[in-house]
Amino acid sequence: PDLFQAPDYYNLDELLTDEHKMVRDAAREWVKREVSPIIEDYAQKAEFPTQIIKGLADIGAFGPYIPEEYGGAGLDQISYGLIMQEIERGDSGVRSTASVQSSLVMYPIWKYGTEEQRKKYLPKLASGEFMGCFGLTEPDYGSNPGGMITNYKDMGDHYLLNGAKMWISNAPFADVAVVWAKNEEGRIHGLIVERGMEGFTTPETHNKWSLRASATGELIFDNVKVPKENLLPNKTGLGAPLGCLDSARYGIAWGAIGAAMDCYDTALRYAKERVQFDKPIAATQLQQKKLAEMITEITKAQLLTWRLGVLRNEGKATTAQISMAKRNNVDMALTIAREARQMLGGMGITGEYSIMRHMMNLESVITYEGTHDIHLLITGMDVTGHAAFK
Ligand code: TGC
Ligand code: FAD
């Protein structure tokens, strides 16, 4: 009853099924109970709250759309999106952990792995017993992952993996890493690397002003012997990791709406209560302009993601359509966070309110999973037929 009343200006709830609403409300209730009360403290401490892992699993945030036979929640893409929206209303860093686990670790094992790999890893990842990370980015290859130099050699009875990955979410505590590396012919393959393998280390990246409640690190491979059965056999080439990114970027498009909703809601409440010059600041034209634009942009973003969810359910969403939604919605959320922060005046810079934390988090979200510029170039390529990044 006293759950967060999310902005729904165009009655989009009418487009949702009872299952969608049930899944969303369960996630909303859990975020209110388990995430919102503690997250500011963990962000200030720059620590991931490991005690929430079980709760994330319980609300279906680990593998929402992975079939139940592998421990997933067996939900559709709109439910997946709504879960990401609710989690990111709490914190983008917590949503990052769920995105990585679901779309970047469970998805490739499900789609590109063997039946043995699915049975071995997916149920444990779904329950949170295993946590995973995804190693694509390297120090010299961020926007251009196809240039990666991490590589493995066939040694007969095992593979020998060498190289390094950087900026890897969940790396410091992950039990398993899905790592993208080139074979001797230069073809990209996915390998499952497990903590404890000799020569594999995961140093944490410190001094972040963004996503402070999410652990980020490097993956270093120094002659790591990887068993041959840990290779993901069913898809190779850059298209394999890019397929995972389609799924994660889709979830981020929904997640960003959650962060934007929280900023809008906080600013609206504050503006109604804060009196200056003998009237609430909400009664001034300038602050109304900000609020009116925020709710307009949130509503447009909701429509974009809802339609994209329908296309994903039908298996018809293109990479370029996903790029447009990721780019638009994250930029929308960051703009709203910046405007909302100003509306709170000095209070806006404190941890008493969530806005500054969202704003700083979104600086990572607008950079990872393809930067704002790269997504623009993907749209540009789609409409012109020319790849301007080459
Ligand atoms: P390009 O030549 O376009 O494509 C290479 C091959 O891949 C195929 N392909 C796809 N296949 C499946 N799904 C897709 N979405 C695909 N997109 C492309 C394509 O057909 C081709 O196949 P083939 O057989 O001809 O080889 O590749 P490119 O090298 O020109 O690069 C394109 C570009 C720039 C768009 C791409 O590299 C890109 O998206 N760069 C951005 C990198 C990125 O997003 N990194 C994200 C790292 S993971 C992360 O940030 C996690 S944060 C998580 C969190 O905490 O939430
Ligand atoms: P660069 O590629 O060096 O880009 C620098 C700037 O140049 C950007 O503004 C970019 O838009 C621009 N640029 C690049 N190429 C072009 C071009 N052709 N034309 C015009 N402009 C261009 N990666 C993973 O693999 N796994 C993870 O779990 C993960 N988690 C992350 C968590 C955090 C907190 C962060 C910050 C990053 C994470 N990343 C992860 C890495 C992320 O995906 C990369 O940072 C991102 O893809 C950009 O790469 P880069 O940082 O090397 O920037």
Q: What is the mean pLDDT of each run of 10 residues along the chain (390 residues)?
A: 79 97 97 98 98 98 98 98 98 98 98 98 98 98 98 98 98 98 98 98 98 98 98 98 98 98 98 98 98 98 98 98 98 98 98 98 98 98 96
Please calculate the CA angle 308-310-313 and round it to the nearest 5 degrees: 110
> Relative to the CA of 371, which ligand 2 atom is closest?
11
Measured distance CA(260)–CA(264) in Å, rounded = 6
pLDDT for the residue 390: 86
Query: What distances in angstroms separate CA 8 from CA 261, 283, 299, 337, 346, one per listed residue?
Result: 10, 22, 7, 18, 29
pLDDT for the residue 2: 62
Centre of ligand 1 from the C-alpha of residue 370, in Å? 9
CA-nearest of 135, 157, 161, 140 to 222 is 161
Measured distance CA(136)–CA(19) in Å, rounded = 34
352 CB-near residues (< 8 Å, 6+ apart): none
301 CB-near residues (< 8 Å, 6+ apart): 253, 256, 257, 260, 325, 328, 329, 332, 333
Question: Chain centroid to CA 82: how far?
Answer: 13
Q: Give the strand pairing for 279-280 and 275-276.
A: antiparallel
pLDDT for the residue 1: 46
Pocket test for ligand 1, best of 205, 242, 368 (most atoms within 8 A of CB): 242
Which residues carry out catalysis?
369
Measured distance CA(30)–CA(39) in Å, rounded = 13
With a 6 A CB cut-off, is 245 part of the ligand 1 pocket?
yes
pTM score of the predicted model = 0.97
Measured distance CA(378)–CA(386) in Å, rounded = 10
The residue type found at 182 is K
The ligand 2 site (C-beta within 6 Å) comprises: 100, 133-137, 142-143, 167-169, 211, 216, 364, 367-369, 371, 373-374, 389
Centre of ligand 2 from the C-alpha of residue 111, in Å? 25
Question: Which residue has a Cα nearest atom 40 of ligand 1?
Answer: 143
> Above 0.90 for ipTM, yes or no?
yes
Q: Is the alpha carbon torsion for 361, 330, 84, 127 positive or negative?
A: negative
278 CB-near residues (< 8 Å, 6+ apart): none
Pocket test for ligand 2, best of 371, 376, 378 (most atoms within 8 A of CB): 371
Measured distance CA(95)–CA(103) in Å, rounded = 12
Tally Cβ neighbours within 10 Å of residue 151: 17
Question: At 140, is the secondary structure helix, strand, or coil?
Answer: coil
> Relative to the CA of 144, which ligand 1 atom is closest?
37
Please calculate the CA angle 8-95-365 and round it to the nearest 5 degrees: 90
41 and 357 Cβ atoms separated by less than 8 Å: no
150 and 138 Cβ atoms separated by less than 8 Å: yes
- Count of H-run helices and E-run strands, the chain: 12, 10
CA-nearest of 83, 170, 185, 65 to 128 is 170
Tokens standing for 359?
């704003």
Centre of ligand 2 from the C-alpha of residue 42, in Å? 25
Measured distance CA(132)–CA(101) in Å, rounded = 6
Tokens standing for 52?
């929430």
